[in-house]
Amino acid sequence: MDYVRKLFDTNTFGTMAMVQAVIPQMRARRSGVVVNVTSSVTLAPMPLAAAYTASKQAIEGFTGSLAHELAAFGVRAKLVEPGYAPTTRFSQNIDFAIEDMIPEAYADFAAPIFAAFASPALTTRETDVAEAVFLAANDTSDRLRYPAGPDAVALAA
């Protein structure tokens, strides 16, 4: 549960706090765009990612509701859903090994999944995410979701 709390503090409550901080100015100006970044784990169920997925799904629902609520003030809300991006070194930014989170009873189940992570067929680059954020921020339509990276685009389809 400590891990789950850290995930939600960062991925969910941190995002909500940032949005809460910027909305009053955007609402007063009657313009602006909130672009929240979630993950392609929200596009299809994936093993060994339940807590992470839950933290990102919460922001999906939050942002979808915001899109409706803020439209009356001329403010848009968008979601960017990046795929697996091993070059970001994301796993090196946490203070524990992901493998240590797997109970012994799940070791045989988890081993081939971790092996597949080592050589994925499709991945997302940082530039894919930057392009999706730019598109989302500049798109004046009511489109909500922007998958980023070939793997996320494939999952979204």
φ, ψ (nearest 5 deg) of residue 77 = -130, 135
| Residue with the two structure tokens 């989302």 | 136
Structure tokens at 10: 């960062």
Q: CB of 150 within 8 A of CB of 124?
A: yes
CA nearest to 134, candidates 64, 68, 80: 80
Instruction: Tell me the residue type at 148.
Output: A
Catalytic positions are 52
DSSP state of 10: I
